[in-house]
Amino acid sequence: MKPHQQSVPCGCGIDVHAHLVPEHFPRYIGNALPADWPSMAPAHDCHRHVMISGKVYRTVSDRCWSAPKRLADLPAMGLALQVVSPMPELFGYWMAPAAGQQLTRYLNDQTAALVDAGGGQLAGMGVVPLQDIDLAIRELEHAVRVLGLRAVEIGSNINGLPVGAPMFDPFFEACVALDAAVFVHAVRPAGMERLVGPAALQQVLAYPTDVGLAAASVVTGGLLARQPKLRMAFSHGGGTLAALLPRLQQGWQVFAALRESISEPPADTVRRLFYDTLVFDDAMLRQLLHAFGPAALMVGTDYPFNFQERAPMQRLESAGFDAATLQAISHRNARRFLGLDPHKDSE
Amino acid sequence: MKPHQQSVPCGCGIDVHAHLVPEHFPRYIGNALPADWPSMAPAHDCHRHVMISGKVYRTVSDRCWSAPKRLADLPAMGLALQVVSPMPELFGYWMAPAAGQQLTRYLNDQTAALVDAGGGQLAGMGVVPLQDIDLAIRELEHAVRVLGLRAVEIGSNINGLPVGAPMFDPFFEACVALDAAVFVHAVRPAGMERLVGPAALQQVLAYPTDVGLAAASVVTGGLLARQPKLRMAFSHGGGTLAALLPRLQQGWQVFAALRESISEPPADTVRRLFYDTLVFDDAMLRQLLHAFGPAALMVGTDYPFNFQERAPMQRLESAGFDAATLQAISHRNARRFLGLDPHKDSE
């Protein structure tokens, strides 16, 4: 590693982890209003409260819905393209399927509208009501074929079931058929009962914990053996996966039950998945590169929330990656993940 | 780092993470036999089954209770001293307090007997019924004052409550008063509902997850601010803590609620705790050194279970640590943790 020797490819970055929240939510159309149907309420200048179940879930800035404000921020972040996806608490997996479908349809329409207003500098990920796999597949078809979204954002768990559970196989088969990439983001995480301190620890500690377990469930559940063409990424650098991996690899070598049920070494499987760079630390980034390989990492920022990486390209530079690695992480891996270079699929 | 340049201080290692299981368990003395009171049943040569709730919990070798066999293995592992602690599923936190006290007393007596048979090459950690803090403190007094054990092994959670929960403060105060080190080991972990695959994944994935959350709970709960003299170590390299830490440090800088409730930077607090080296990977070991510092790591093996580090000193060597770091990790930190050099407390 030779820190600060390479200059970052300026302004070419692709951020695959950035969120939107719509300025408004529609009224629920149906008989029984779900208790957690979201709404927006006025807050201080340029901000609004996301209201869920009668409480302020989060106060967000107009950068969540304003295309001009978002576009104005991209150059200073070194980004040529930002891929926007809804704030995960809006997945609505916990609602009745019809309500979840209504909410995700609205979010997908809003996402497509934001992408349209982006003048080529924004791309979008859809969301789908995974509490009902058939409905989710139909919504994915709409998001990809009608709205032109390139990927789908899903939770690290769906009402407690990790994404690697075999029951989700038909959905991932549809993702491959539709050439839609999958971005797995933490939501309603495991481990909440182990936290001691303020509510923010959910995002800070339990989110990466749940993402790590979700990624591990994909590895141990054999999803990539069944869907080798699936392009799947994990938020927050894969969360705790990098720390779990050496023990998983060793466990695979020691326990016959693991070797019998997992067809390839976990240390190989993890290199066929994608991860964002949202770890706020040079040494941790280098550890991700070591564990997952140079083809696996893509820039992620959590823009425009407060807990975001504000200088993602400088972070790559300070991690001391070589020029080829910088190019791969800053944009080439993301282009492959998003299917933007179809002729380069095999590289 | 200059791998393979330094030679490991041979035969001076101290292993702080090794387990015992007694050859027999006594009959329960009381009216209502706890369903999960353990017993042993014959297995193949030199092995016995640990029976819990009518099922084989684990099949273990006679190295779990035989001092001669254990001592015969130490030289090849490069160890001068091994600190033995009971297999964590024997903590009995889930039993009525009186039953838990009976079980931990038996285990402490067995541990002391094994230490006595060790001719100075074995030390011991007690266990205590933490489901009743007063009983736990009394058992700790017995373990330290009467039996001469140097440390106490506790679970990463006690019936679901993480060790950093303030209700355990009186116990840790007693640990400081008795000069007993605390070794936190995974048990009945969080995240079980996120696993997809064989039962061994509990040990492989959920154990380090629970240890990471336990260590984080100590950091965010401020235990070391209240008990600055507490010497506390975490199993399995602190589990996922190393991966959680950069995000915790960044979250502490971003969220006012965290800065207000946590008095020092988490990246500083973690360097005042101890961790074993049981991570099965050179790069991960170097990451632990980077995150936790050279004074924090101690050799751990999980001897004599199948899922153990069989060559702990070679692992340090292949990680490429310098001579001072090798000395610190192989034995000096453990001596400080165990209080074996009282005059060197301040170094």
pLDDT digits (tens, 9 = 90+) for A182-235: 999 999 999 999 999 999 999 999 999 999 999 999 999 999 999 999 999 999
Q: In what order do the strands lie in the sheet with B122-126?
A: B13-20, B79-86, B122-126, B151-155, B181-185, B232-234, B274-276, B297-298
| pLDDT at site B283 | 96
| C-beta atoms of B242 and A243 within 8 A | yes
Of B194, B198, B237, the CB nearest to A157: B194
A-chain CB neighbours of B237 within 8 Å are 243
Is some CB atom of chain A closer than 8 A to the CB atom of B115?
no
- B 203-222 residues with CB < 8 A to A: 203-205, 208-210, 212-214, 216-217, 220-221
CA distance A247 to A266: 10
Is some CB atom of chain A closer than 8 A to the CB atom of B256?
no
| pLDDT at site B30 | 86
B-chain CB neighbours of A197 within 8 Å are 217, 220-221, 258, 261-262
**What ipTM did this prediction achieve?**
0.95
**Beta strand pairing status for B55-61 and B47-52?**
antiparallel
What does each C-alpha distance from A169 to A134, A175, A262, A271 come to in angstroms? 12, 10, 16, 20
| Residues of chain A where predicted confidence (pLDDT) is lower than 50 | 1-9, 345-347
| C-beta atoms of A243 and B247 within 8 A | no
| C-beta atoms of B280 and A249 within 8 A | yes
Using a 10 angstrom Cβ sphere, with 0-12 exposed, 13-18 middle and 19 or more buried, the burial of residue B254 is middle
B-chain CB neighbours of A240 within 8 Å are 208-209, 212, 240, 243-244
A-chain CB neighbours of B199 within 8 Å are 257
B-chain CB neighbours of A242 within 8 Å are 243
CA distance B136 to B156: 16
A-chain CB neighbours of B254 within 8 Å are 306-307
Q: In 3D, which of B246, B251, B265, B263 has the Cα closest to residue A306?
A: B251
Q: What is the pLDDT along chain B (347 residues), one digit of tens a residue?
A: 344 444 444 679 999 999 999 999 999 988 888 989 999 999 999 999 999 999 999 999 999 999 999 999 999 999 999 999 999 999 999 999 999 999 999 999 999 999 999 999 999 999 999 999 999 999 999 999 999 999 999 999 999 999 999 999 999 999 999 999 999 999 999 999 999 999 999 999 999 999 999 999 999 999 999 999 999 999 999 999 999 999 999 999 999 999 999 999 999 999 999 999 999 999 999 999 999 999 999 999 999 999 999 999 999 999 999 999 999 999 999 999 999 987 654 44
| C-beta atoms of A279 and B213 within 8 A | no
User: What domains, with CATH codes, occur in chain A?
Assistant: 10-23+62-345 (3.20.20.140)
Choose from A192, A207, A240, A253 for mutation: most chain B CBs within 10 A. A240
| pLDDT at site B193 | 97
Identify each DSSP E strand in B186-324 by its residue range.
232-234, 274-276, 297-298
Is some CB atom of chain A closer than 8 A to the CB atom of B307?
yes
Q: In 3D, which of A295, A329, A237, A286 has the Cα closest to residue A1?
A: A286
- A 147-206 residues with CB < 8 A to B: 157, 160, 162, 164-166, 190-191, 193-201, 203-205
Is some CB atom of chain A closer than 8 A to the CB atom of B255?
yes
Q: In 3D, which of B208, B211, B205, B178 has the Cα closest to residue B193?
A: B205
Is some CB atom of chain B closer than 8 A to the CB atom of A256?
no
| pLDDT at site B278 | 98
Q: Residue A302, by phi and psi: left (phi above 0), alpha (psi -120 to 50) or beta?
A: left
| C-beta atoms of B205 and A247 within 8 A | yes
Q: Measured between CA atoms, how close is B154 to chain A, in angstroms?
A: 15
CA distance A209 to A191: 7
| C-beta atoms of B244 and A306 within 8 A | no
Residue A170, amino acid: P
B-chain CB neighbours of A306 within 8 Å are 254-255
B-chain CB neighbours of A209 within 8 Å are 191, 209, 212-213, 240, 244
| pLDDT at site A343 | 61
| C-beta atoms of B195 and A220 within 8 A | yes
Q: Measured between CA atoms, how close is B323 to chain A, in angstroms?
A: 22
CA distance A85 to A186: 13
A-chain CB neighbours of B307 within 8 Å are 250-251, 254-255
| C-beta atoms of B198 and A258 within 8 A | yes
B-chain CB neighbours of A283 within 8 Å are 246, 287, 290-291
| pLDDT at site B344 | 52
